[in-house]
Amino acid sequence: MVSLPVQEAKRSLEALRKGVPCPGHVEALSVGQQDELARLLGALRQASGGTSQVLFVRGDWGAGKSHLLLRCQEEAFRAGFLASFITLSSRETSLEDLGSVYKRMVRNLSSLDLAAGAAFPNLIASCVSFIRQEAEPLLDEPCKHGLTYRTCAHTCLAELLSQKLLGQVKKQDWCLTTAMNILVRANLFNDDVLWALACDWLAGQALTRTELELMRMRAPSFPKLVAGIRQRDIVSVLQQFSGWARLVGYSGIVLFLDEAESIPTISSTRAMLKAYLNFARILGSVRQAGHIVFVYSTTPTFYDDLDSSFLQHLRGRPELDQFVHFVETTLSSCTVSLRRLTYDQLVECGRKIAGIAYQAAGGRLTTSIWHQIRPRAEHLAGAVQSRTAWTPRHFVTEWVRILDTLL
């Protein structure tokens, strides 16, 4: 059993009271799901080799989807991936608004040694540092009118280098490529204001009118850059970020979308169609790029809805033709269906949670203590097994409540 400091054990136990695993402690609490995890790990290996992967994790509410995704995230970190875990909900991050998905993706990007909020700035700084290192030998070469690249304020060196090093990009990626050019230029000429504003813009933060004027002064192409950013362009960030990640040594990017509420629960048909359209855009972007794993966790409601007459509404729209074709031909083969935990697995889960609870109380779960409380864990596991509506989340929250009374 894993040994945790008291404060870490308390943090983990507090998360378990809400029925969710604590990031960083997921593997220590895992039982079962070996086949499902193996499928996700296979996708990581494929993406590391350059082939993007799309997987859907299907399970009822409380069946352990979020737990499996967080466990896969820990494995992705060990495999050298950047990862972003996004919980979809109508209140904060909705598929109706790709802008909110983009901002959350950037904000939640993390790695093995960088927490959410630090990984994205580090990725940008690392890319610019790499490009500058490549540019340094060329800075004193003649440019135009007898000037050198180092002294010419309007040099195209940044643009040439970023195109060379990041690869020729498609037209729809122009905005992000230009953003990287501006960042490289700001770094080459030590323009801290330009650097800060460009980083804020790239992270999805709105700029004030004064800030936009400053950007116009330092980067004349910026007004066009801002005008070019529309929701239809945001999906290309996955392709571009993946290239930047590979440039500085990461294996790729994993994007986890975890449903807090299903698309079919959206009341408005118009809003539902928009959500499906945006979902199709993200899916299409991932499938065209390389070194990306896209994992979407959902309930059977998502599948029931796509099997119903609502699919006819999607089929009648040209922009959703590819998505409909994917649903009809590929969706089932990309789906990982969670199986119910067995009685023995639930009891083992209870033992692991009890170990954390006793550590949080400053003690240790000994063999004799476990033998005393095991019958209660077995009784609860039997109750969960006998009620089809009960899930592992019910077991976890109820077992933590029982442990609170015992401690």
pLDDT number for residue 77: 92
97 has a pLDDT exceeding 90: no
Nearest to 58 by CA among 47, 50, 69: 69
E-strand spans in 44-144? Answer: 53-58, 81-88
pLDDT number for residue 21: 79
81 has a pLDDT exceeding 90: yes
Other CB atoms within a 10 A radius of the CB of residue 3 amount to 10
Q: Which two tokens stand for residue 34?
A: 């070996």
User: Over the stretch 218-247, which tens digit does the pLDDT of each residue have?
Assistant: 777 777 666 655 544 555 677 778 878 888
- The architecture that CATH gives domain 33-111+250-337 is 3-Layer(aba) Sandwich (3.40)
The percent of residues in the chain predicted with pLDDT above 90, rounded, is 5
- Asked whether the beta carbons of 33 and 64 are under 8 A apart, the reply is yes
Tell me how far CA of residue 182 lies from CA of 1, 105, 157, 163, 221, in angstroms. Answer: 51, 22, 11, 13, 9
DSSP state of 344: H
Q: What type of residue is 325?
A: H
User: Over the stretch 113-139, which tens digit does the pLDDT of each residue have?
Assistant: 888 888 988 988 888 888 777 767 766
pLDDT number for residue 8: 85
Nearest to 84 by CA among 57, 55, 120, 60: 120
**Is 190 exposed, middle or buried, given 0-12, 13-18 or 19+ CB atoms closer than 10 A?**
exposed
* CATH 3.40.50 in the chain, residue ranges: 33-111+250-337
- Which H or E run contains 179? helix 174-188
Considering only CA atoms, give the Rg of the chain.
Answer: 25
pLDDT number for residue 80: 92
333 has a pLDDT exceeding 60: yes
Q: Which two tokens stand for residue 165?
A: 């090093």
The answer to pTM > 0.85 is no
Q: What type of residue is 251?
A: S
Distance CA 54, CA 295 (A): 6
Give 254 or 277, the one with higher predicted confidence.
254
Kindly report the backbone phi and psi dihedral angles of residue 390, in degrees, each rounded to the nearest multiple of 5, phi listed first: -90, 145
Tell me how far CA of residue 203 lies from CA of 18, 104, 107, 122, 172, in angstroms. Answer: 30, 9, 8, 12, 18
Give 245 or 285, the one with higher predicted confidence.
245
The per-residue pLDDT of the chain, averaged, comes to 78
170 has a pLDDT exceeding 60: no
